Structures are given as C-alpha cells and as structure tokens.
C-alpha cells in the first residue's frame, strides 16, 4: 500500500490520535505494506454477496468485528489547506490542525479508501472538527461495512479494482491461513496487522489450512491491548447486526461462522435478503 507523501506520524499528533482512538491505526500507517492484488483476488472469488462469507472446502468463514479489533486496534462500539511536515516551532493550535489533517488522511486512505487513490471525501470534515467526540464512534464496524461492500462490488465482473481497508483483508488471510503466510514474519506486536510490515509478496503454495481461533494463543494475548478484552466490547463481536458506514449498510452474519468464536456450527438460517440495502451507495437520490 502506497505511503502517504509528506504526512509522516509526528509524535506531537499522538495525544490527538489517542483522543480519537485511532492511534493504533496510525502506527500501522507508519510501516511499509505491499498488497498482492492477484492473491487477494483469489479470495474475493470465494466471496458470497448474500452471506458476506468466504465459501471454502471446509465450510464458511469471514472477517468479523473481532478481526477488526485484533488486526487494526479499532473500537467497534460507540454512537453513531495543504499539509506536509508539521513545523518544529508550531504552536499547539497549529499542531492540532496538522493532527486533524493526519486523521483525515488515515480515514481516507487506511480505512475508507475508494478507487481514486488520491482523494478524501469531504464528509469527514465535520468529524475532525469535533475532535473530542471522535472516540465515541464505532470506526471498526464502519470499516468492516466498507470492506464488505467493496468485496461485493468486486464480485461483479465489470469491477476490476479493489478498494477499502486492504491491510485488514490481507492480514486476516495470513493469520487464518498459515500455509499462505510469508516466511520470516514470526514476531508481532499490537495491533496484529503490524506483523506483515515489509511483506515481499512471496507466498507459500502448500494449499489452504484454516485456523479457526488464532487470537487465543498465549503469545497473542500477551500483546493485546487489555481494553479490547473487556466484556462490553467482546459481546459485540458475536452480534448478528447491521454495519453502517453512511449510506452503506451491510450485515454482520457471524451466526454462519460460529467456530471462529469457539462454537459448534449448526445448519445456518437462510441468507438475509439485503438487495435493497446493497443497491444504496449514497449517490444521487440516495443521500
């Protein structure tokens, strides 16, 4: 994934990033990531629009709110000028403005990127204007809704480029499918997606092997931020609920992937018909 020119993480932004609960995401942005588009496309071919799951030989699996928390360190609960390097002699108000711009860049490129690759939607301006309130939003559920929608769009044969939080998708694949992991990336820290910084696109070809619960091992629990394991957060990971990102409304159908939470998978209910919601994208009269 392309580095953002001239917008490096300045330590003076950190208090504001922590205020917005986006500091862990900012740490990911300070690392180098490459996306193997053909590799990701193979997984998208297994994506089913009506269930939001990957259909594999061993059953269904998907990216859930739990994965968003562990991989990106984002909160999943809550209510609904030109910038480069910040000057060394900048006063507090100037640092605050640059921190807002940095957060805009994170939202527009790391979480909610579209296919333009170089634009950030103006819809984020009211959010960064109220910086003290940003921590109250469920950034994780919005990012997952956008990833679901982007993969559903790519399943259309007329769409050829994938957008969305692709660090999450790529890291989810490597954590869940160990035979696809690149060699030499055994050390990791928080958030877990940081494990693959510097990835060089060399992928094993030993075939699929899926780990249903990769986050339950002691070495992972040692680096997890303790706040994400509080019951008020973890209960949301298992909820069958809507994921909302402005006009994008997608469904979190974890009842189809219960083994990812240590459960036994019964025969799933028929898929929800969300064709009406899938047709809405915030353009024209849908605003």
33, part of any domain: yes
pLDDT for res 57: 87
- Per the structure, the complete domain to which residue 43 belongs is given by 12-281
48, part of any domain: yes
Q: Could you tell me whether strands 53-56 and 59-61 are parallel, antiparallel, or unpaired per DSSP bridges?
A: antiparallel
119, part of any domain: yes
pLDDT for res 83: 63
pLDDT for res 285: 63
pLDDT for res 201: 59
* CB neighbour burial string for 30-55, b if at least 16 within 10 angstroms, e if fewer: ebebeebeeebeebbeebbbebbbbe
Nearest residue to 171 via CA among 238, 241, 220? 220
Q: Which ranges of the chain have pLDDT less than 50?
A: 1-3, 5, 80, 203
State the total domains in the chain. 1
**Sign of the Cα pseudo-torsion (61, 280, 128, 150, in order):** positive
Reading the block at residue 120, the tokens are 């950030």
39, part of any domain: yes
274, part of any domain: yes
pLDDT for res 2: 44
267, part of any domain: yes
Distances from the Cα of 89 to the Cα of 9, 81, 93, 98, 146, angstroms? 17, 19, 12, 13, 39
């Amino acid at each position: 994934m392309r580095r953002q020119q001239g917008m490096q993480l300045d330590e003076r932004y950190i208090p504001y990033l922590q205020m917005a609960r986006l500091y862990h995401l900012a740490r990911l942005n300070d690392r180098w990531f490459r996306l193997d588009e053909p590799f990701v496309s193979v997984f998208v071919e297994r994506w089913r629009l009506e269930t939001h799951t990957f259909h594999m030989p061993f059953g269904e699996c998907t990216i859930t709110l739990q994965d968003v928390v562990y991989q990106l360190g984002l909160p999943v609960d809550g209510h609904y000028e030109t910038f480069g390097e910040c000057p060394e002699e900048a006063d507090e108000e100037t640092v605050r403005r640059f921190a807002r711009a940095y957060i805009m860049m994170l939202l527009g490129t790391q979480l909610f990127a579209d296919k333009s690759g170089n634009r950030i939607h103006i819809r984020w301006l009211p959010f960064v204007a109220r910086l003290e309130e940003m921590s109250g939003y469920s950034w994780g559920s919005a990012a997952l809704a956008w990833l679901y929608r982007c993969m559903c769009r790519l399943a259309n044969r007329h769409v050829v480029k994938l957008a969305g939080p692709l660090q999450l998708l790529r890291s989810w694949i490597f954590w869940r499918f160990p035979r696809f992991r690149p060699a030499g990336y055994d050390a990791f820290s928080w958030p877990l997606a940081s494990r693959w910084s510097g990835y060089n696109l060399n992928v094993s070809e030993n075939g699929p092997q899926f780990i249903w619960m990769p986050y339950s091992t002691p070495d992972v629990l040692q680096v997890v931020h303790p706040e994400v394991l509080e019951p008020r957060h973890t209960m949301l990971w298992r909820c069958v609920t809507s994921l909302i990102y402005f006009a994008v409304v997608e469904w979190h159908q974890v009842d189809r992937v219960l083994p990812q939470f240590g459960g036994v998978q019964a025969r799933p209910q028929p898929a929800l018909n969300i064709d009406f919601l899938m047709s809405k994208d915030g353009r024209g009269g849908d605003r």
